[in-house]
Structure formats: C-alpha cells, structure tokens
C-alpha cells in the first residue's frame, strides 16, 4: 500500500494507493490544497479512482467536488449525504475497490447523519466519529449523541485493538492512534454506558466552528465559498498598484474611468480624486447607461479590494475587457496617505 497523510492545520487528508496497479483513493481533501493533491498524485504516478468525504464537513471546505471535476473521478459519500455532487453513494458494508485495495464503508452516524468510517486492512479512517483523545461533536445539524454512542461502542470500538486510527482532524500534530489506545486513554470513551455518554455529549459547551454556515452551505450543496469566488475572479482580472494610480491621478492624462463601488456615505467621506460613484449593487442595472463605451479602461475601487475584484471580473464578462481592480482598495490608499476628495465627480 502507498500511503500519504496531508495535514492542513488541524484537518487531515489521506491518499492511499495500490502499489501494483497505481490506483488510488483520496479521503477528506481540503479545498485550499487541491493543487497540491493533484501534484502529489502525479508525482507518485497514481491514477485517482475515487475522492471520498467521510461526512458533510462543518468546519472546513471540502475539495472533493473540485478534484472530482478536474480529474473526472466520482465523489463518494454515504447515501445519506445531501451533497448533489456525490455521484457514488455507499451503504453499510459496501466496498470501494481500487486495484488491490478494498475500503469497507461503516456507517457511523452521530457527528452527522451521513458519517462513515472506511476500514482498509490494518487501519480505519474515522472521519470525525472517533478522534485521537476525543470524538466528533453532536450539537451541529444532524448530530445525535445516542447515534454516536452506538456507532462508537457497537461498531468502531469493536474492531481489533491493534487497528490504526486515522481521523479527519487532529490539532496536536499526532498522526494516528489505535483502537486499544483510545479505549484506554480517550476521556470521552470512559463514559461506557449510554446514559453517561449522552449526558456528557449534551453537556459540552463548545463554540461553533468559525465557518459553520458557509462550510455547511458549500459542502451540502456543492456551491462555492467566498474565498474561492474571490480567487477565481482574481485570476480573471489584472490589478493596478496604488503608486500607478497615484501617478495617473497626479497627471492630467488620466484616461480611464475610476469606478468607486462603495455606498454613498463612504464615497462622500472621501474617494480617489475624479472617481465616479456606482454602488456595486446597481452595477449590472446601470452599466449600459453609466458606461456607454465598452472599450474604455475602467478601474474598480472598494474599501478592501475584494468587492472591486468581483466587480472587475463581472465587467469583463459583460464585455468591458479593459476592466481592472485597485490593489488593496481605499483602505490601503488612505494608509499610504494618497490624496482624497470629498467632492462628487
């Protein structure tokens, strides 16, 4: 077996491959590392057969959909997953076959209704069902403390004691554990009766994950997170530096439209001299009247450079092929002590 563990902060992803056939499976990829996974797959001479999410993640963004599309491989999840992009759905006991590898699905609801573990030879990939020194939480959507108790004590923890445990998260730089070690040392597993375990899980006072709503929205539907939208927009537009804009504003040959996309109050409080006000929310509705010449150079501005990046990409899609965005936005312009005007252009 070929085996690679890839850590992204506290998130853990796994690439397993068949040494004989080079067929491979990628488990719980993180969106920000998609290019690295693809590079690693190529470097090792592997052919990816499946990309798997062990459950609907609520604390980070899955890279499964993007990898699946890029490499034309199916996204695999449990059959209870709500994700529309999961083309291959597993039931209890189903096997994923990649060359000589056999990964057995074990449905382990509790952290989420669609949680599953994958048993492969001497190891089990436990997702967020069983962590090193902990378990998945049960207070998020579709979580159930009773179901988690059954998944742990009636399924996962009945595996041979020497079985290696590879979870989807670990924040202490530990690579793996074993079933025996978790039974002996995991504080949550010392509550051996259902009543004690459920009471403990329901009494945990945990803060919500930072990106809870956005992660659930994107992972459940296949939509894109804002960071990905920004990255894709940034790849489609050029940028103008603050110094370049300052040199043009300071001359009498500023041959472009400087488009300030902020709301009126922010615009009136101070804007780049000569800028035209057009709120982002009205851009598509007013673009034909306010920007009648599609060949003109347009520089979009906002407070921090994010909305202007999205707007510049939109303008290019609408046919304004010389649209560009101000790097850093008005906040950086002010910090650099460049001139501001409070007079309407």
Chain Cα centroid distance, residue 279: 29
The DSSP result for 212-257, as a single string, is HHHHHHHHHH----HHHHHHHHHTTS-EE-HHHHHHHHTSS---SE
Please tell me the distance from the alpha carbon of residue 115 to that of residue 213, in angstroms, as a whole number: 19
| Contact (CB, 8 A) for 246 and 338 | yes
Question: Of 196, 224, 252, which one is at a domain's C-terminal end?
Answer: 224
pLDDT at res. 212: 77
- 220-229 as b/e: b if 16+ CB within 10 A: bebebbeebe
Whether 112 is in a domain gets the answer yes
What CATH number has the domain bearing residue 10?
A: 3.60.15.10
Specify whether 244 is located in the same domain as 180: no
Whether 24 is in a domain gets the answer yes
SS3 content of the chain, % helix, strand, coil (to 5): 35, 25, 40
- 159-184 as b/e: b if 16+ CB within 10 A: beeebbbbbbbbeeeeeebbbebbee
Whether 345 is in a domain gets the answer no
| Contact (CB, 8 A) for 13 and 37 | yes
Chain Cα centroid distance, residue 138: 21
Whether 17 is in a domain gets the answer yes
pLDDT at res. 254: 64
Specify whether 30 is located in the same domain as 159: yes
What CATH number has the domain bearing residue 298?
A: 3.40.250.10
pLDDT at res. 222: 76
pLDDT at res. 208: 76
Whether 343 is in a domain gets the answer no
Ordered mean pLDDT values, 10 residues apiece, the chain (345 residues): 93 96 96 94 96 90 92 95 90 95 97 96 96 94 95 97 96 92 96 95 84 79 81 92 90 80 94 94 93 94 96 95 95 94 67
Specify whether 218 is located in the same domain as 83: yes
Specify whether 204 is located in the same domain as 69: yes
Closest CA to 44 of 1, 97, 107: 1
Whether 178 is in a domain gets the answer yes
Specify whether 18 is located in the same domain as 36: yes
Whether 68 is in a domain gets the answer yes
Specify whether 184 is located in the same domain as 42: yes
Dihedral over Cα of 137, 143, 145, 151: its sign: negative
Whether 340 is in a domain gets the answer no
Specify whether 127 is located in the same domain as 9: yes
Question: Of 201, 224, 247, which one is at a domain's C-terminal end?
Answer: 224
Element (H, E) at 138: none
Q: Give the domain range for residue 152.
A: 2-224
DSSP category for residue 318: T
Question: Of 202, 224, 246, which one is at a domain's C-terminal end?
Answer: 224
Specify whether 220 is located in the same domain as 232: no
Query: For the chain, how many structural domains are there in total?
Result: 2
Please tell me the distance from the alpha carbon of residue 172 to that of residue 175, in angstroms, as a whole number: 9
Stated pTM of the model: 0.73
Specify whether 7 is located in the same domain as 140: yes
pLDDT at res. 227: 83
Please tell me the distance from the alpha carbon of residue 31 to that of residue 142, in angstroms, as a whole number: 23
């Amino acid at each position: 077996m070929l085996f690679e563990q890839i850590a992204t902060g506290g998130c853990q992803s796994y690439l397993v491959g068949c040494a004989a056939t080079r067929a491979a499976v990628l488990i719980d990829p993180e969106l920000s590392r998609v290019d690295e996974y693809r590079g690693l797959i190529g470097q090792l001479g592997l052919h990816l057969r499946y990309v798997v999410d062990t459950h609907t993640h609520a604390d980070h963004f899955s890279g499964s959909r993007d990898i699946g599309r890029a490499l034309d491989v199916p996204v695999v999840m449990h059959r209870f997953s709500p994700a529309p992009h999961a083309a291959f759905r597993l039931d209890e006991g189903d096997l994923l076959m990649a060359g000589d590898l056999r990964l057995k699905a074990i449905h382990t609801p509790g952290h989420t209704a669609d949680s599953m573990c994958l048993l492969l030879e001497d190891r089990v990939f436990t997702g967020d069902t069983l962590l090193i020194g902990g378990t998945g939480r049960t207070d998020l959507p579709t979580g159930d403390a009773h179901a988690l108790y059954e998944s742990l004590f009636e399924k996962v923890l009945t595996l041979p004691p020497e079985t290696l445990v590879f979870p989807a998260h670990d924040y202490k730089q530990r690579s793996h554990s074993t079933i025996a070690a978790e039974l002996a040392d995991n504080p949550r597993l010392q509550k051996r009766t259902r009543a004690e375990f459920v009471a403990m899980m329901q009494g945990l006072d945990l803060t919500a994950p930072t990106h809870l709503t956005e992660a659930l929205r994107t992972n459940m539907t296949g939509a894109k997170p804002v960071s990905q939208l920004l990255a894709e927009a940034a790849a489609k537009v050029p940028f103008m530096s603050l110094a370049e804009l300052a040199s043009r504003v300071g001359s009498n040959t500023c041959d472009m439209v400087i488009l300030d996309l902020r709301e009126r109050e922010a615009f009136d409080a101070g804007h780049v001299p000569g800028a035209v006000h057009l709120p982002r929310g009205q851009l598509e509705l007013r673009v034909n009247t306010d920007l009648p010449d599609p060949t003109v150079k347009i520089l979009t501005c906002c407070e921090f450079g994010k909305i202007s990046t999205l707007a510049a990409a939109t303008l290019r899609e609408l046919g304004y092929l010389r649209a560009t965005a101000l790097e850093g936005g008005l906040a950086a312009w002010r910090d650099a002590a460049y001139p501001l005007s409070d007079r309407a252009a």
